[in-house]
Amino acid sequence: MAYKKKRRKKGKKFASFNKQKLKKAILSILYEDPSKPVNYKQVSAFLGIKDAETKRLVNVVLVEMHENGLLDMISRGKFRLRSRGGYVSGVVDLQPQGFGYVNSDEADTPILVSSRNLHHAMEGDKVRVHLYARRKKHELEGEVVEILERAKDTFVGTVSKSRNFAFLIPTSKVGFDIFIPLEKLNGAKPGQKAIAKILEWPSRSKNPFGEIIEVLGDTGDNDAEMHAILAEFDLPHKYPKNVEKVAAKIPLEISETEIKNRRDVRGITTFTIDPADAKDFDDALSIRKLENNNWEVGIHIADVTHYVKPNTILDDEAYSRATSVYLVDRVVPMLPEHLSNGVCSLRPNEDKLCFSAIFEMNNQAAVLRQWFGKTVIHSNRRFTYEEAQQVIETGEGDLNEEILVLDGLAKKLREERFKKGSIAFDRIEIKFNIDEIGKPISVFFKEAKDANHLIEEFMLLANKKVAEFIGIPKGKKQAKTFVYRIHDKPDPDKLDSFNNFIHKFGYGIQLVTPKMVSTSLNNLLKNVKGKTEQNVIESLAIRAMAKAEYSTRNIGHYGLAFDYYSHFTSPIRRYPDVMVHRLLEKYLEGGRSANAQKHEDMCKHSSDMESRAANAERASIKYKQVEFMKDHVGEIYDGTISGITDWGIYVELENKIEGMISLHGLDDDFYIFDEKNYAIIGRHTQKKYQLGDPIKIEVWRTNLERKQLDFRLVES
């Protein structure tokens, strides 16, 4: 059958496709005639897509669907639906009530699987599901028939022991305890935090069998708890001895031969600006006035790849970790500390090797010339953000002229960026003052100021210009393989729901074009600053956005409004930047294009590890929030409803700490979850609790083990 073009209704909303929406649209096209092959032009025509940018995205999505096993490639650029029968594969998303959803690219909606039909499948497992016949107006349902890939086989928890056997009770809600024979306790004592590995799970057994592979320490001990959080997300808390040994042998001294092979910029005023507690300084700025009254601005990045060579144990370890992890009270570095805080760190009054982006800029912050290459620098001064901010606000202090010029240029870059549609998500960070044993004694907030924006703008400039330098095709030649930081367009349906919700507060965003979305979103974020609904609206806006990730297939960065963007500026703490440095050096020397598939696989691993690190950071913040509120049980606070689910109401207090009121605790009525309107409504009383509503609560109980903070409603 021939595919007929879909007639597009004229409307006010822009028909924007992101990758996820395109996948669903392509599947719906191919389900009509599974045997017919299509190319990106046919798909684009059917969907009424005319702009070149979205057509390119269609091609990217078709290739990715082929790589993920959804489509067969019949010939170059021609794809057909892979035959599936009544089975699909997907990833398990367990719900607190015990059942799960399987999210599959092969199905138009998540597949509901009851707890008895999960057959030992756990959160994040990749499974094969047999689909049941669909009943009208009912959810798609199925049964797990095969576990294709376990998300994890090690779990963190607390040891419980009886006379004849022991259990590890996992910290996370997984719905089972792990049976540990006494001979496999490996020295673990009751009440201790430990890591257990599942060895087998007999089909008829309620519990898996395992062994303790590492004892972390006593429950409640700060180090043990932080190590437990890392282990929960399969992140290491220490380095193998052989890696530390190799790193320790790398000398701090730089040879004269190496200096001669580089551009020497040690005579130019150079400095770093970093958080007060930072030790890994991976970027420095230099500035000098040229004879033509323009400015030469240097963005100097630690030359990690000079020291960390491919196919070495240092590189293997860095790739495996892929990122530094920032918990509340510590940094777990991607590189051993001898490198991250020593050899590579751009410390003041030391010669250091860098990979630099040097720009000639006029007073309007336009880039007139650019140069990328290896340098040797000498930082004259290390500033904290607070010290640099003081210089900006008073105009006085060390290197005040240089800082003020850079601040002026940064403000022009920032203004231009927002004019072009960049979105201003300036979230307030919650921080803790912690005592010597790791206990939080007070909460404070950290907000980005001009000094932070100064550094941000020049890092964005370097990342963008490096990506453009490699990514923009030269003449008729195809661009060489590169690592991009991509950010897909938001899902129009999510934006629509978001827009309906903010109307309740008297706000709205324009959904006609992507540019109008970003402009009106920026106005909204500006208007809600300092208001009680600020955090709720900002959180929902972020949820409507896609997640940024790494890929060799460039689709641009929607949030920044950049057609080309990469990560070049933090190789001490991010492995993709190491990849970018290697590729840039190779291409500057005239090298051939690198293997695209190999780098795409590395990008996927890096995106996955970044996500894990972010989850661990959030878990450590949550732990400290609960620990801090232990001393405030019974106290009454004003809060704002920050989340609504079918099991509870999440409430954020003025100190940004969030807890939950369980729906079971609301015994004055039977409440129904209205997902579309972010609300729960009493069946008999019609009493409504909606996202953003003010609410009064009592701190009821804390559970550090589960990182849970429970509130009770206080009737006003």
The dihedral built from the CA positions of residue 105, 106, 107 and 110, taken in this order, carries a sign that is negative
Which backbone phi and psi does 135 adopt, to 5 degrees?
-90, 145
Amino acid of residue 516:
M
Domain 19-81 bears CATH identifier 1.10.10.10: yes
Helix (H) or strand (E) holding 578: helix 575-588
The answer to whether 544 touches 502, Cβ cutoff 8 Å, is no
When pLDDT is cut at 50, 70 and 90, the band that residue 136 belongs to is low
What is the reported pLDDT for 85? 63
Q: Average the pLDDT over 667-696 and give the result.
A: 89
169-186 pLDDT, tens digit each? 998 877 789 999 999 999
Residue 2 has pLDDT above 50, yes or no: no
Highest mean pLDDT, choosing among 65-79, 92-106, 650-664: 650-664
Helix (H) or strand (E) holding 451: helix 450-471
281-295 pLDDT, tens digit each? 999 999 999 999 999
Q: Identify the three-state secondary structure at position 255.
A: coil
Amino acid of residue 200:
E
Residue 135 has pLDDT above 80, yes or no: no
The CATH number that domain 87-149 falls under is: 2.40.50.140
When pLDDT is cut at 50, 70 and 90, the band that residue 692 belongs to is confident
The domains of the chain are located at: 19-81, 87-149, 154-219, 242-472+600-615, 492-545, 633-713
If phi over 0 gives left and psi between -120 and 50 gives alpha, with beta otherwise, what is residue 212? beta
The answer to whether 62 touches 42, Cβ cutoff 8 Å, is no
Residue 370 has pLDDT above 60, yes or no: yes
Helix axes 400-419, 450-471, angle to 10 degrees: 60
304-346 pLDDT, tens digit each? 999 999 999 999 999 999 999 999 999 999 999 999 999 999 9
CATH class, domain 633-713, is: mainly beta
What gap in Å lies between CA 579 and CA 210, rounded to an integer? Answer: 38
| Best CA proximity match to 52, nearest among 555, 642, 680 | 555
What is the reported pLDDT for 12? 42
Domain 154-219 bears CATH identifier 2.40.50.700: yes
Provide DSSP, 589-632: TTPPPPPHHHHHHHHHHHHHHHHHHHHHHHHHHHHHHHHHHGGG
What is the reported pLDDT for 543? 86
Q: Cα dist. 160→181, 194, 463, 707 in Å?
A: 12, 11, 51, 19
Count CA atoms within 13 Å of residue 74 on its CB side. 11
Identify which has the larger pLDDT, 131 or 575.
Answer: 575
Share of the chain above pLDDT 70, in %: 97
Tell the burial category of 258 from Cβ atoms under 10 Å away from its Cβ (0-12, 13-18, 19+): middle
Fold: same for 19-81 and 633-713: no
Taking the model in full, what pTM does it have? Answer: 0.88
What is the reported pLDDT for 137? 58
Kind of pairing between the strands at 295-302 and 351-361: antiparallel
Share of the chain above pLDDT 90, in %: 63
What gap in Å lies between CA 254 and CA 222, rounded to an integer? Answer: 39
C-alpha dihedral, 434 to 440 to 445 to 450, nearest 10°? 10
| Best CA proximity match to 381, nearest among 361, 396, 400, 353 | 400
What gap in Å lies between CA 67 and CA 520, rounded to an integer? Answer: 37
